[in-house]
Amino acid sequence: MSHHRAIAAVFAVHGAVAGTLSTRIPWIQDHLALDPGALGMALLCPPIGAFIGMPMAGRLAYRFGSRAATRVLVGLWCVALALPALAPSPVWLFAVFLLFGMGAGMADITMNAHAVVLERRLGRSIMSGLHGMWAVGSLTAGGVGAVAAQAGLDARAHLGAVAAVLLVLGGLAGRGLLPDDKPAADGPAAGAPAPRRFALPSRAILPLGLVGFCATFAEGASANWAAVYLTAVADAGPGVAAAGYTVLMCCMAGMRLAGDPIIRRLGPVTAVRAGGALAVHGGVAVVSARTPALGIAGFALVGLGVAVVMPLVLAAAGNARATASEGVTEVVTITYLSGMVAPAVTGWLAGGLSYPAAFGVITGVLVVMTLLARVVRPSDGRTREPEGPAPDGTQVREGLPT
């Protein structure tokens, strides 16, 4: 298995863990007799755990190498998938979700850092396609989970079985990752200085973090409020309203899978500007929509427009610091915060003003993202596609698995 296909499989496994758990939250709620407030408290625990764990991930990648850290952390997160359904009480569920979030966030950091190192070695953009593979894994596992839930399968059996399968698949994929002792690896072998033990965003990363914040804010707000917006503003029925979310996510996944050739042709800055312009037009369509068709088309444009932005931000951040893991940690800390606050802020704006006004603000956020596109410009040409093979003999024109 080539290094590229191996890290693509790791991203798919990571997405599958997230997609699987999301389908069995109702079972966990019923099993523990959680009221909506208690469930909301429980669902706050994974992002809190991620915030606790992520700043330490860079140090782990430096100490043990991004390959070893990714293999171990993804494996532990696969195991953690089985735990929420086994929690005997809400208190235990809170603790399990904290650990689950820590594993998710730390694995997210190390696998993205490893991808930045591999992208640097190949000399061409691969991050968009990798994030597309994450979406493929999440959507596939979500479909399997929906079938299991519809069939009434006990979540303890379902999550346990899927955890075991994903653990094996993740382990097999991890064997093909770029070895840590290569000169391009992120860590002591590469001669890079040790990152801080607890990495918070630096001044150099803040502009990139702002671009990522804007993209994640628009994505999170749209994903969480698309169905509600279409129902309240465009008078859509339940099925049509739900289609708004589905179209948004499918457009994002498809664009990420197809995004790398576009990025290579346009360059990172132009890709962000073009995507931003597309997303802004989508936001305007959403704000002006009074029919479901126009609203869904607007959300589709938003999804297409923001899809490649976060992969480009992560790549730029990884190349902006002495170690890729440190840069990725700093920018992801900002974007996780954006994803957490976006749904709530959108709700507050909609309640205090109106739904169109709330998405008018989101459209303004997308304008800011577009105007700041220049900050993703690579400083050393690392994303340009070279001629011939990479230094380790890997052909640079290898594609993502299909």
Residue 270 lies in a domain: yes
Question: Is 162 in the same domain as 26?
Answer: yes
Task: Assign 247 to helix, strand or coil.
Answer: helix
What pLDDT score does 196 carry? 58
In angstroms, the Cα distances linking 38 to 19, 34, 45, 84, 99 are 22, 6, 11, 15, 18
Residue 194 lies in a domain: no
Question: Is 251 in the same domain as 141?
Answer: no
CATH classification at residue 83: 1.20.1250.20
Residue 63 lies in a domain: yes
Residue 100 lies in a domain: yes
Alpha-carbon gap, residue 68 to 379, rounded angstroms = 28
The sign of the CA dihedral 376, 381, 387, 389 is negative
pLDDT per residue as tens digits for the range 165-215: 999 999 999 999 988 654 444 544 455 555 555 556 667 788 999 999 999
The CA-based dihedral angle spanning residues 227, 220, 11, 147, taken in that order and rounded to the nearest 10 degrees: -20
Neighbours of 33 (CB within 10 A): 8
Alpha-carbon gap, residue 63 to 11, rounded angstroms = 22
Q: Which DSSP letter does residue 339 get?
A: H
What pLDDT score does 373 carry? 93
Question: Is 254 in the same domain as 170?
Answer: no
Question: Is 159 in the same domain as 267?
Answer: no
Residue 191 lies in a domain: no
Residue stretches of the chain with pLDDT short of 50: 182-185, 187-189, 381-402
Question: Is 25 in the same domain as 96?
Answer: yes
Q: Could you identify the residue written with the tokens 């059996």?
A: 157
Question: Is 63 in the same domain as 126?
Answer: yes
Alpha-carbon gap, residue 221 to 351, rounded angstroms = 14
Question: Is 168 in the same domain as 210?
Answer: no
What pLDDT score does 45 carry? 87
What pLDDT score does 168 carry? 96
In angstroms, the Cα distances linking 241 to 145, 268, 343 are 22, 34, 17
Say if CB 314 and CB 116 are below 8 A apart: yes
What pLDDT score does 19 carry? 85
Question: Is 37 in the same domain as 151?
Answer: yes
Residue 184 lies in a domain: no
Give 125-184 as a DSSP string: --HHHHHHHHHHHHHHHHHHHHHHHHTT--HHHHHHHHHHHHHHHHHHHHTTSPPTTSTT
pLDDT per residue as tens digits for the range 220-251: 889 888 888 998 899 988 888 888 888 888 99
Question: Is 158 in the same domain as 254?
Answer: no
Burial 212-234 (b: 16+ CB within 10 A, else e): bbbbbbbbbbbbbbbbbbbbebb
Q: Could you identify the residue written with the tokens 């994974």?
A: 46
Residue 289 CB partners (closer than 8 Å, separation 6+): 233, 234, 295, 298
Beta pairing partners, 395 = 389
Which domain does 134 fall in, by range? Answer: 3-179
Task: Assign 287 to helix, strand or coil.
Answer: helix
Question: Is 149 in the same domain as 213?
Answer: no
Q: How many separate domains does the chain show?
A: 2
Q: Is 388 left (phi over 0), alpha (psi -120 to 50) or beta?
A: left
Tokens for 102? Answer: 């820590």
Tokens for 358? Answer: 């709330």
